Structure 1
Amino acid sequence: MTTLTADTVRPPTHAKLRILATADRLFYTEGVHTVGVDRIIGESKVTKATFYKYYRSKDALIVVYLEGRDRLARDFLASLDTNCDTPEQRLRGVVNEISAQVIRGGFHGCPFINAAAQFTDPAHPVRQAVSAHRDWYGRSIEDMFRGMGHARPGDAADDFFLARDGAFAGANLGDPIGAHTALLRAIQRVLDESVA
C-alpha cells in the first residue's frame, strides 16, 4: 500500500517555476536590484547550476518576471472583454482593480515602474519589457476611451496613466486610502469629458 505524502498528493513544483515564483515574490516585495541570485537560489531550493540552466542571468530572470506580470494584466483585460458589455464597463473594471490593489495589504507599487526606476538605459532588456507592457496597456486604455466616444482618447489615456501611476506611488509611499480616493476622482473627471 502506498502512503500518501504531500509529494504524492501534489508533486513538487518544477525547479524553473519555483525559481520564478520565488523571484516574483522577492522582486516585487524588495526590489529587483536588492535581491541577489544566491538568495533566489537558496529560497527556491535549487542549485546554482539549475538556476543558470533555466535563466542565463539575473537580468534574464527579471525580464521573465515582468513578462509574467504583463501576462496577468493581459489576462485580466481579456476577462473584462468577456464579462463587460461596453468600453465604459471595461474601463471601470480596470479602475476598480487598481483601486483594490492600492488598498490591499502587501502592495508595493507597480512592478513595471519599480523595475524601470532601477534600469535607466532604454535599450536594456528590462527597460524594453517595461516599455512593451506600457505601450500595450496604453493602447488598450486608449481604445476603451475611443469606444466610449471620447473626443480625445489619447489625451484621456494619458490622464488615466498619470492618475494610475500617481495612485500607485502614493499608496506605496504610505497613503493607500488617499491614493484610492484621488484615483477615483481623477478618473471620474476624465470619464465625464467623454459625455460632455
Structure 2
Amino acid sequence: MASDEPSARPSEARLKLLRTATRIFYAEGIHAVGVDRIIAEAKVTRATFYRHFPSKDDLILAYLREVHQLERGMVDEAIAANRSPVEPLLAIANSIAQNIQSPGFRGCAFLNAAAEYPDTNHPVHQELMAHRQWFLGTMTTLMAQVHEGTADPAARHFVMLRDGAMAAGCLSDPTLVSETFLRGVEGLLRINSERQSAESAR
C-alpha cells in the first residue's frame, strides 16, 4: 500500500487534519462529515487544508492508510513477540478482541468504508481492498506455519471470524462477542495443529 506522502516528516497542520479526520470519520462515518467540519475542528484555514489535501478523497485515503499502519503495527508486533506457529495468531486475535471491547468502538474502519464506497473502481474502495488483501495474505502466511495444506481456507476462516466479530461488537455485548470470537479462533487453530501433528506422525 503506497504512502500518500514523501518520506519527509509531515507538517503539524497535516497531522492535525489527519488526527481530526480519523476521529470524526470513524465515529460518525465518512459521507456524513464535510470538509468545513474538519477544518473547523482542526483549527486550520481552508487554504491550509487544500495545500495538504487537494480533495476530500485525498484525506479519506490518508485516513485509511493511517488506520492500515496502526493495524499493521499491531500485527508486526504480535509476529515479532511470538515464535511458535500458533502464538502470533492468538496474539493478533487477542488484540482484535481488546479493540472490540475498547471505548468508542464502532466496528472495522475498512468494512465501514466499504459500505459507504461500494463502487469497486473508486480509489477509496481500492484502498480498503488493498488493506484486506494484505491482512488475508499475512494470515495465510501465518496459517501455513500451523498447517501448510489448509493455510488458504484457514486464513479465510480467520478473516471471516474477525469480520463477524467486528460487525457484532458494536451491535451486541462486546465482551460476549470477543469471547465467542476467541473461542472460534482457538478451535480453528486446534483443528489445524492436530492435522499437522497427525501428518508429522505418519
TM-score (norm 1): 0.90
User: Of 86, 109, 115, which residue of structure 2 is paired with 1:111?
Assistant: 109
- Deviation track 1:145-174 (CA, whole Å, cap 9, x = no partner) reads 101125311111111111111111111113
Name the CA distance, whole Å, in 2 between partners of 1:101 and 1:23. 20
3-state SS of 2:149 partner: coil
What is the distance in 2 between the residues matched to 1:47 and 1:78?
37
Which residue does 1:149 correspond to in 2? Answer: 147
Structure 2: how far apart are the matches of 1:59 and 1:103?
Answer: 30
Residue 60 of structure 1 deviates from its aligned partner by 1.1
For the residues of structure 1 that align with 2:45 and 2:16, how far apart are their CA atoms?
12
Matched, 1:170 2:180: no
What are structure 2's unaligned runs of at least 5 residues? 1-10, 195-202
Matched residue type, 1:177: T
Q: Contact between 1:150 and 1:193, CA under 8 Å: does it hold in 2?
A: no
Q: Deviations over 1:10-61 (max 9, x none)?
A: xxx7111100000000011111111111000000001111111100111111
Provide the residue aligned with 1:160 in structure 2: 158
Amino acid at match of 1:166: G
Aligned residues of 2:140 and 2:154 also touching (Cα < 8 A): yes
Rounded Cα–Cα distance in structure 1 between residues aligned with 2:149 and 2:184: 17
Whole-Å separation in 1 of the counterparts to 2:64 and 2:138: 18
Output the CA distance in 2 between the equivalents of 1:81 and 1:185: 20
What residue identity is the alignment partner of 1:86? Answer: S
SS in 2 for 1:151: helix
Q: Deviation at 1:178?
A: 2.3
Structure 1 residue runs of 4 or more that deviate by more than 4 Å after TM superposition: none
Using the alignment, how far apart are the partners of 1:123 and 1:117 within structure 2? 14
Whether the 8 Å CA contact 2:101–2:174 is kept in 1: the answer is yes
Question: Tell me, which stretches of 5 or more residues in structure 1 are unaligned?
Answer: 1-12
RMSD: 1.2
> Quick check: 1:150–1:194 contact (8 Å CA) kept in 2?
no
Task: Kindly provide the amino acid, as one letter, of the partner of residue 96 in structure 1.
Answer: N
User: Any conservation in 2 of the 1:166–1:179 contact (CA below 8 Å)?
Assistant: no
Q: Which amino acid aligns with 1:173?
A: L
* Equivalent in the alignment of 2:4: none
C-alpha separation in 2, matches of 1:150 and 1:137: 17
Amino acid at match of 1:89: E
Partner of 1:135: 133
Provide the residue aligned with 1:81 in structure 2.
79
For residue 62 of structure 1, what is the aligned residue in structure 2?
60
Taking structure 2 as the reference length, what is the TM-score of the superposition?
Answer: 0.87
How many residues are treated as equivalent by the alignment?
184
